[in-house]
Structure 1
Amino acid sequence: MSDPKQKSIALPLLVIAGTAATIAVNWLAAAGLVNGVTPDAVSDRYQTILTPAGYAFAIWSVIYAGLIAFSIYQILPSVRDRYPGVRQLYLATCVLNCIWILLWHHYMVAACLAVIAALAAVLVIIVARLSDRDSLAGALMTKAVFGIYAGWVTCATLVNMSIALVDQGFEIGPTAWVVIGVVSILLAGGAAVAVRLKFNNYLYPIAVAWAVTAIAVKQSGNTPIVVAAAVAAVTGLITAGSVVTKLRDSSSEADRG
């Protein structure tokens, strides 16, 4: 007969293993050890109207630091029995993240788009499943981490879409590209508002604001793109404006519960 304690720790341990594997694969990719290229080298091959300034990718350091923090937090005895559904979905994101890296480094752009869209969808489901009623530590280690991750990957999906259009050789004129860029940025802004209002996640809009601002910096000479990015970024920041208050309120509600 299996030991219930062993059962309860198995999934949390898998989460730690999944995080370690994901970070390892991404480190190997950044070091140019996956198909002999770096992510930047692949990205430079597909410059589009939605390509962000290079500094934007620094957010991955924040995301991976957050995932490490989540992985450690979720194995603590006091929370080990919580987040079972989130853990399973998180393991799926680890697999999708690694698959995306492998496909990206082999220039399989269309397949990359499908995988990153799936990754974004799973991350939004995780955001939806995380409860408002949590301690301050719980909110920071779960809602904040996955809000940033989901917001960034949502925007990355739109960038991948534009890259797929280039890769497939579609003949798109400059005006049409501007329309695609503006619509994509406004969709990202709309997603930021929707996730904030529907799931009360205040960090998702901040990640979206970060991404679209970096697009505006890269496309600084393109007025429609800059204006669309400004609208999306300001909207995201306004909707995220009470993040500190919300996290404090979540903590207070949990303490009273």
Structure 2
Amino acid sequence: MKRIWKRVAVAVSAVVALIGAYVGSGAAGGTPIQDAAGGALSASSTAIAPDGPAFSIWSVVYAGLVGYAVLQLFRTANDDRHGRLVVPAILSLLLNAAWILSVQFGWLWASEPIIVALLAVLVWTFSILRRTRSTGVVEAVLTDGTFGLYLGWVCVATAANTAAVLTAAGFRGFGLGQDVWGVAIAAVAGLVGVLVAFWGRGRLAPAASLAWGLAWVAVARFDGPLVSVPTAVTAVVAAVAVVVVTVAVRARAGRSGAREERATTPGFGRADSVAG
């Protein structure tokens, strides 16, 4: 019964997150996130804010989260892995809804600790995923893929949210200017993506969403109310670096895995280990 209630709790949390997303979209009569809190999160608010279409990735993430909630609700295998994911999955879903509501109510100051906590929880989730194995393609897509996309996008969202909160609080960047800060933050986001690539042994989902976010930061800085060519160029370079490094690490991990498999296959054994 305890296991069943844990599964139900994840499913209920997913429903709460969906309701939050519905409210945050403005469909329920509220203000769309990019226009809420006085437009603090709009594409023209800070040098690191992505252009509007970037947020369409939430549709993919939410679809994946619903799929994951259903998968874990009816799972018949891999109980240990899903058991470890229960708490961080629930926290990520509830924090997501809390962040949307904090912005909707204009509590921008509250959105920062919430999104930082969300990022920390997703790092925790990712660490569980990389230490355990999926049991098939469906689980790999709905669990690893979804939370990977979630993590990569929230990395970008945290940077944008932090910049928005500081700007709204009157921070003026110690007089360094938007170009300097935009370049610095875009470079750090790219570095984070590279580190995740190595840590995750080349997982594609985090790299895809992080590169997606950086690409839309570049679009917003090349053309719009807040143009910053240095930031745009840095964002493009960072996005490309994340993708290239991730693919290279994944290829290397694949070759290493193939050597290990041959080493444990009868007929290869010790000779293959020496050759590798």
- Return the TM-score normalized by structure 2: 0.81
Partner of 1:168: 169
Q: What's the offset of the Cα at 1:181?
A: 1.3
Query: Is contact 1:99-1:115 (8 Å) kept?
Result: yes
Residues 193 and 210 in structure 2, CA contact (< 8 A), matched pair in contact too: yes
| 8 A Cα contact 1:12 1:80, kept in partner | no
CA contact 2:198–2:246 (8 Å) conserved in 1: no
Report the Cα offset of residue 225 of structure 1.
0.7
Please identify, of 19-28 and 164-173, the stretch whose mean Cα deviation from structure 2 is larger. 164-173
- Deviation, 1:173, is 7.5
57, 62, 65: which one aligns with 1:64: 62
Preserved contact between residue 64 and residue 142 of structure 2 (Cα < 8 Å): yes
**d(CA) in 1 for partners of 2:77, 2:235:** 39
Q: Which residue of 1 aligns with 2:117?
A: 118
Residues 225 and 40 (structure 1 numbering): CA distance in 2 closer, same or farther, change over 3 Å?
Answer: same
- Secondary structure of the corresponding residue to residue 232 of structure 1: helix
Match of 2:8 in 1: 13
User: Are 1:74 and 1:80, in contact at CA under 8 Å, matched by a contact in 2?
Assistant: no
**Amino acid in structure 2 at the alignment position of 1:177:** Q
How does 1:48-127 map onto structure 2 within 5 Å? 48-79=46-77, 81-82=79-80, 83-127=82-126
Cα displacement (A) at 1:192: 1.0
Q: What is the CA-CA distance between 1:242 and the residue it aligns to?
A: 6.6
CA–CA distance in 1 between the matches of 2:132 and 2:190?
22
Per-residue CA deviations over 1:81-135 (Å, capped at 9, x if unaligned) read 2321211111111221111111101221121111101101100110111135323
- Where do 1:133-212 residues align within 5 Å? 133-134=133-134, 135-172=136-173, 175-200=176-201, 201-212=203-214
Shift of 1:149: 0.3
Say which of 194, 216, 233 aligns to 2:239. 233
- Deviation at residue 243 of structure 1 after TM alignment: 9.5
Cα RMSD of the aligned pairs, angstroms, is 2.7
196-205 or 120-129, which deviates more: 196-205
2-structure distance, mates of 1:105, 1:68: 23
Task: Kindly provide the amino acid, as one letter, of the partner of residue 205 in structure 2.
Answer: L
SS in 2 for 1:240: helix
The answer as to whether partners of 2:37 and 2:108 remain within 8 angstroms in 1 is no
Secondary structure, in 3 states, of the residue corresponding to 2:204? coil
Q: Structure 1 residues 32 and 68, CA, compared in 2 at 3 Å: closer, same or farther? A: closer
Distance, in Å, in 1 between the alignment partners of 2:165 and 2:8 is 36
Contact 1:8 1:81 in 2 (8 A): no
Distance 1:8 1:147, change over 3 A: same
The 2-side partners of 1:244 and 1:12 are apart by 32
Would you say 1:29 and 2:30 are equivalent positions?
no
- Larger of the two Rg values belongs to structure: 2
AA aligned to 1:207 is: S
Moved more, 123-132 or 173-182: 173-182
Match of 1:214 in 2: 216
Please, what TM-score do these two structures have when normalized by structure 1?
0.86
Give the stretch that moved more between structures: 49-58 or 71-80: 71-80
The answer to whether the 8 Å contact 2:198/2:249 transfers is no
Gaps of 5+ in 1: 1-5
2:74 aligned partner, one-letter code? L
